[in-house]
């Protein structure tokens, strides 16, 4: 058991721009939460509230900027740490937009100017990994700390040395951020009995059964400390959940007062995460471990539901300069949200009407970001340029690919990695393959109204290259990540899938090569079960479902055009392979 003397508890809420309700509804919830938190902070000096992104607070500020009384209350709560706003606008699909992560800190200057407070802790929740580029983006804006509530659902466990124990994450450019990762995500407290027991509080009066309350609270903390290997004297966790109201954590401060009055251990502190990080840095900063390497963006694969919008957004963000109006940068940052995608939404959350409005609203968020950035046009598409000549293919191709004619497109039910199963059938006919001297291009036309199986659930469409090498010998890395190219991964080993919008470098075959695509950004490897020494490089082209699980428990198949507004029904895409 760790020698933990103090546990910092950060009550608040996590949000997705969508997920449990359409984005405008979530925005209203977050604005109301800020209002309620300011009232609660005035009523109880021990009350603290965290918004794990500034998006909702930005909505509150837009509405109440001219209200001097409200602004004064917010200033007090922000300065004394009772109201906690993350140093990032929201938790992003970071690897997809790794070149534009500086946009996430769009609110920092204005908060410092209006309130005299500049958030220093980036609260990065839900997504189980982020690109190394986020270290550079945060450090460049003076953000020193990152509290990561990693949702490990469908994700391999993190190495023990990285969880519940602080470390410096240092980038290839030698920027660094002090990081704390909770593998129970922002929902840590939901894993314990203490949350349901504290619901016995209905007001400031304590429950009559204090002994039972303290016993179950103690049980929860013993469990947590038993899972903690940190050798430092304090840990921190978020007491939060999706789109929570302030009322959901009203019992935390009374419980901690009860615990403290009984002089129980460890000491519990309701606090800002900044209090935890400052304590750790002041006591242990020089001796904390320093880890380097690329982490990745495992959850970013979901953007394959909207590959054209994703391409438009990436292209648009390249035109945004640091001095661009705040509204432009906020719109772009909002479009990065880790929960934004198109399709039927997450099962059981919406009525049919809400499902359709949810898809339209997300498409509006994308369109606004593209339009405000100024380029490219909302209806634009990448343009394919044919190879300049029909030069004789480089003889090295035969050492890399088993046979270009075997390049295939398949569609099958969703898997994580590999993207689809071995027995998934070929679909749509073979791609058009053009082989130049050192460049090979495979072109595909996908009719998204005809993808088989989307009326039954999630389907992935992949283009697959047959490589003459055993899977164990091959490595795929983001081509523009210096750490990954040097073999440095934060987790100690390469991930099972790679998100790389600028393409990947593949090594371990007879000759190294790169793979790029304007509309595809996720790659993984799958050994051929029937042919030893043959490995398929899977490139994820599309992720789609037309089957909606509705709030009343029913299921209904809706049309592609309604669920994926702004995405073309006919998707012309290609994958390019270049020999080094």
List the structure tokens of 559: 């049309």
| The pLDDT value given to residue 203 | 38
Tokens 């690109």 sit on residue: 131
CA distances from 396 to 83, 400, 477, 510, 577 (A): 61, 7, 21, 8, 13
Closest CA to 145 of 126, 168, 161: 168
Average pLDDT of the residues of the chain: 93
Q: What confidence tier does 2 reach under pLDDT thresholds 50, 70, 90?
A: low
Q: At what angle do helices 68-79 and 23-43 cross, to 10 degrees?
A: 70
pLDDT digits over 291-323, tens only?
999 999 999 999 999 999 999 999 999 999 888
Q: H or E element: which one contains 63?
A: helix 55-64
- The mean per-residue pLDDT over the stretch 466-477 comes to 97
8 A C-beta contact, residue 81 and residue 72: no
- The mean per-residue pLDDT over the stretch 489-512 comes to 97
| The pLDDT value given to residue 374 | 87
| The pLDDT value given to residue 204 | 45
What contacts 82, CB < 8 A, 6 or more positions away? 37, 41, 45, 47, 48, 49
- Percent of the chain whose predicted confidence (pLDDT) is above 70: 96
Closest CA to 74 of 87, 58, 89, 95: 58
In this prediction the pTM is: 0.95
| The pLDDT value given to residue 86 | 98
| The pLDDT value given to residue 175 | 98
- The mean per-residue pLDDT over the stretch 473-487 comes to 97
Residue 308: Cβ-neighbour burial (10 angstroms; 0-12, 13-18, 19+): buried
- The mean per-residue pLDDT over the stretch 494-516 comes to 97
Tokens 């080094």 sit on residue: 580
Q: Tell me the β-bridge partners of 555.
A: 549
- The mean per-residue pLDDT over the stretch 371-398 comes to 82
The CATH code belonging to domain 6-292 is 3.20.110.10
8 A C-beta contact, residue 309 and residue 342: yes
For 249-282, what is the HEC assignment?
Answer: HCCHHHHHHHHHHCCCCCEEEECCHHHHHHHHHH
Closest CA to 249 of 193, 182, 195, 183: 195
8 A C-beta contact, residue 571 and residue 307: yes
| Angle, vertex CA 575, rays to CA 572 and CA 576, nearest 5 | 130
| The pLDDT value given to residue 502 | 97
Closest CA to 562 of 345, 313, 358, 356: 356
Region class of 263: left (phi > 0), else alpha (psi between -120 and 50), else beta? left
| The pLDDT value given to residue 200 | 42
d(CA 31, CA 56) in angstroms, rounded, equals 6
Neighbours of 466 (CB within 10 A): 19
8 A C-beta contact, residue 553 and residue 314: no
Q: What confidence tier does 211 reach under pLDDT thresholds 50, 70, 90?
A: confident
d(CA 466, CA 193) in angstroms, rounded, equals 51
List the structure tokens of 283: 């006591």
Q: What confidence tier does 387 reach under pLDDT thresholds 50, 70, 90?
A: confident
CA distances from 487 to 295, 497, 537 (A): 11, 15, 19
Q: What confidence tier does 512 reach under pLDDT thresholds 50, 70, 90?
A: very high
d(CA 535, CA 529) in angstroms, rounded, equals 9
3-state SS assignment for residue 571: strand
pLDDT digits over 150-165, tens only?
999 888 999 999 999 9
| Angle, vertex CA 484, rays to CA 479 and CA 486, nearest 5 | 105
pLDDT digits over 407-422, tens only?
999 999 999 999 999 9
Is the model's pLDDT at 135 over the cut of 70? yes
d(CA 395, CA 281) in angstroms, rounded, equals 57
Question: What residues does CATH 3.20.110.10 cover in the chain?
Answer: 6-292
| The pLDDT value given to residue 525 | 98
Is the model's pLDDT at 197 over the cut of 90? no
pLDDT digits over 20-60, tens only?
888 999 999 999 999 999 999 999 999 999 999 999 999 99
| Angle, vertex CA 213, rays to CA 209 and CA 218, nearest 5 | 150
Is the model's pLDDT at 571 over the cut of 70? yes
Q: What confidence tier does 194 reach under pLDDT thresholds 50, 70, 90?
A: low
d(CA 178, CA 514) in angstroms, rounded, equals 34
- Percent of the chain whose predicted confidence (pLDDT) is above 90: 83
Is the model's pLDDT at 389 over the cut of 70? no
Q: What confidence tier does 286 reach under pLDDT thresholds 50, 70, 90?
A: very high
In our burial notation (b when 16+ CB lie closer than 10 A, e otherwise), range 405-429 reads eebbbbbbebeebbbbeeebeebbe
Higher-confidence residue of 190 and 575: namely: 575
């Amino acid at each position: 058991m760790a020698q933990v003397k103090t546990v910092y508890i950060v009550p608040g809420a996590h949000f997705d721009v969508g997920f449990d309700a359409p984005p405008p509804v979530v925005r209203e919830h977050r604005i109301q939460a800020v209002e309620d938190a300011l009232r609660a902070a005035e009523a109880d000096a021990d009350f603290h509230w965290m918004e794990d992104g500034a998006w909702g607070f930005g909505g509150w500020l837009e509405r109440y900027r001219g209200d001097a009384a409200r602004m004064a209350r917010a200033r007090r709560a922000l300065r004394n740490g009772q109201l906690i706003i993350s140093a990032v606008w929201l938790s992003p699909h970071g690897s997809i937009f790794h070149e534009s992560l500086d946009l996430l800190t769009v609110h920092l200057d204005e908060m410092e100017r209006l309130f005299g407070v500049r958030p220093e802790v980036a609260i990065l929740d839900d997504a189980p990994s982020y690109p190394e580029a986020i270290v550079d983006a945060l450090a460049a804006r003076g953000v020193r700390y990152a509290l990561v509530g990693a949702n490990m659902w469908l994700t391999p466990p993190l190495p023990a040395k990285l969880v519940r124990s602080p470390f410096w994450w240092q980038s290839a450019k030698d920027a660094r951020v002090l990081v704390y990762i909770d593998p129970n995500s922002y929902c840590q407290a939901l894993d314990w009995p203490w949350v349901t027991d504290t619901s016995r509080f209905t007001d400031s009066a304590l429950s009559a059964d204090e002994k039972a309350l303290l016993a179950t609270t103690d049980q929860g903390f013993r469990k947590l400390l038993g899972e903690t290997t940190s050798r430092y004297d304090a840990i921190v966790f978020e007491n939060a959940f999706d789109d929570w109201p302030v009322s959901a954590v009203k019992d935390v401060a009374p419980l901690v007062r009860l615990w403290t009055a009984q002089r129980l251990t460890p000491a519990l502190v309701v606090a800002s995460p900044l209090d935890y990080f400052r304590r750790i840095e002041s006591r242990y900063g020089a001796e904390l471990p320093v880890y380097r390497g690329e982490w990745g963006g495992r959850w970013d694969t979901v953007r394959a539901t909207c590959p054209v919008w994703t391409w438009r957004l990436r292209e648009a963000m390249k035109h945004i300069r640091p001095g661009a109006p705040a509204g432009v940068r906020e719109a772009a940052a909002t479009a990065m949200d880790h929960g934004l995608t198109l399709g039927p939404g997450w099962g059981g959350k919406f009525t049919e009407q809400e499902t359709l409005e949810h898809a339209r609203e997300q498409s509006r968020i994308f369109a606004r970001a593209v339009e405000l950035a100024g380029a490219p046009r909302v209806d634009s598409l990448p343009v394919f340029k044919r190879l300049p000549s029909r030069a004789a293919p480089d003889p090295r191709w035969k050492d890399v690919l088993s046979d270009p004619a075997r390049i295939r497109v398949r569609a099958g039910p969703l898997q994580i990695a590999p993207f689809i199963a071995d027995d998934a059938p070929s679909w749509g006919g073979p791609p058009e393959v053009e082989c130049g001297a050192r460049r090979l291009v495979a072109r595909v036309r996908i009719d998204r109204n005809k993808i088989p199986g989307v009326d039954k659930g999630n389907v992935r469409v992949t283009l697959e290259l047959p490589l003459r090498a055993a899977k164990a010998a091959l490595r795929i890395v983001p081509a523009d990540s210096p750490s990954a190219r040097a073999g440095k991964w934060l987790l100690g080993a390469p991930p099972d899938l790679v998100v790389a919008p600028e393409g990947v470098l593949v090594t371990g075959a007879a000759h190294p090569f790169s793979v790029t695509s304007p509309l595809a950004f996720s790659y993984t490897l799958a050994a051929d079960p029937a042919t030893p020494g043959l490995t398929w490089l899977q490139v994820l082209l599309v992720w789609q479902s037309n089957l909606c699980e509705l709030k009343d428990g029913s299921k209904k198949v809706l049309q592609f055009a309604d669920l994926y507004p702004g995405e073309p029904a006919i998707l012309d895409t290609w994958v390019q392979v270049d020999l080094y």
